[in-house]
Amino acid sequence: MTVVAGAQGHAPKVLIQSILPVLEDGYEGHAPSVMIKPIARPSVNPLIEVYRRVWDHPAYRVSSPGEELAQQFLKEAAPKNDAEIICFGVGSGREAFMLALFGNLRVTMIDFAENCLDPEVRGALKTQADRLKFRLADLTRSIPVTAPYGYCVDVLEHIPEEDVPAALWNILHAAHHVFFAISTVPDNLGAVIGEALHVTVKTKDWWLAALAKAGATVMWSQDQKNRFCVYVSSWKDADEVIKGGTLNTTDEVVVAQTLANIKAGWQHVHPYDRQDREVILLAGGPSTCDFVDKIKELRAAGAALVTMNGSYNWALEHGLKPSMQIVVDAREFNSRFTKPVIDECLYMMASQVHPSTLEGLPRDRTFLWHCGIGDDAEMVVRQDTGAFYPVPGGSTVALRSIPLLRMLGFWKLHIFGMDSCVWRTSASHHAYPQPENDNEALFPVSVGGRQFFCAPWMVSQASEFRGLVKFIGDEVELELYGDGLIQHMIQTGADFADIHESD
């Protein structure tokens, strides 16, 4: 993830990488986790012998779905050169060749049948040892390697239904971001050994629910003939960020408003293909006013303009027409953030917003998205739309907007006004009047040799931003403009452990 910060325009880029432990075997990633309630299984998976037999048949090697879909993964994930990736249930291994060749990736192949690899792939383990590795492992047991990316094609349907939760748990704890392709029809090749190989034949909705239960967040999905593809992030180390902060509206009100809005028949957000159009994201902090010319320059160059809350009207007052407006807050006074309605603008409203916030919005350009809704509301969404795509993030609209935009396909964001502090010269908390924040208690915070004055939610946002970076850093490129708390922490490398109230 590239994050740029500077008081006046571009500053030297600082590369922020996920802080991950190095395991004893030399692989970087998350330390192996232990399931709280391990599922008792035989010491040796009986399916291993089935697949040893089937891989002895040349007919089973003719088709390689993983090889066919490698370019689709590279398009959606856009991994950097030399990134590590695990191929789960690699089979013939030809998919690993494609990922190593066209993606310039370092590939670890995982399978539980030692005879699965094609001869040329097995030979490449010696000739291209710096690019290709093979490990015997059972996906229903703990996986011995980790990586930022995972690739799992034509695999999950081969796993018995009772073992699917364990397999998903293991895969999502071995890789941050995983591309799955799952068949939804019976197989036609198991006949060569008299076995049915697709033992869990389920619908797309069933698999999406299973992935959500395992902790995956969908970034992109696509229906294909007899299968569907889905690219997810596991978010497993970001529990506090996903939960967000404390609600400023009671649970009962949020549930009632969410159900009412869902039942009102609005469209729902769903994942889109990755796209290269750059985005200006106006977070609305006081430093936004210092960059009016830069914002207009980027807008003139073709960048989409995404606003949130009061930055919508700030943009209109400065002659800037928003492409999209985002609101998350459930309180009624936020209805002013969707007025006036303008042509062509898309309105992305959290399903919990007060119904008055949705009043007068165009049905064809307004979409609901979901964060932290209850089980009953989720069930209604699934019944109405056939799928449920929650948006993780943090306790502020800015922290939710970044994952939302990535789900919509946008990955290169220019962020203005994400300061997380009041402005030194004027003590302003926003670039525009927002009376709800006028009387907040402020306290001094020392970080990396500088002092900032912050409301409690500002410190929380800065801390959660670091968490957001840790689990979405491979998926987005962010340029932050300004001279606030978050930008200073990026420039100096200050850790959030350094944040403390000044004496």
Phi-psi region of 203 (alpha: psi -120 to 50; beta: other; left: phi over 0): beta
Q: Quick one: which H or E segment has residue 492?
A: helix 485-492
pTM above 0.95, yes or no: no
CA distances from 116 to 23, 86, 110, 494 (A): 27, 16, 10, 48
Tokens representing 422 are: 């009041």
Q: What whole-number distance in Å separates Cα of residue 242 and Cα of residue 468? A: 9
Per-residue pLDDT 10s for the chain (503 aa) are 445 444 333 333 333 222 222 223 333 333 333 333 334 445 578 899 999 999 999 999 998 999 999 999 999 999 999 999 999 999 999 999 999 999 999 999 999 999 999 999 999 999 999 999 999 999 999 898 999 999 999 999 999 999 999 999 999 989 989 999 999 999 988 878 888 999 999 999 999 999 988 888 898 999 888 999 999 987 644 433 334 334 566 778 888 999 999 999 999 999 998 889 999 999 999 999 999 999 999 999 999 999 999 999 999 999 999 999 999 999 998 899 999 999 999 999 999 999 999 999 999 999 999 987 778 888 888 888 888 898 888 889 999 999 999 999 999 999 999 999 987 555 678 887 887 777 777 878 888 778 888 888 888 888 889 888 877 878 899 999 998 999 888 877 655 444 544 43
- DSSP letter (8 states) at residue 291: G
Q: Pairing mode, if any, of strands 443-447 and 500-501? A: antiparallel
Domains detected in the chain: 2-16+240-501 (no CATH), 47-236 (3.40.50.150)
Q: With 0-12 CB in 10 A as exposed, 13-18 as middle and 19+ as buried, what is 142?
A: middle
How many CB atoms are closer than 10 A to CB 134?
21
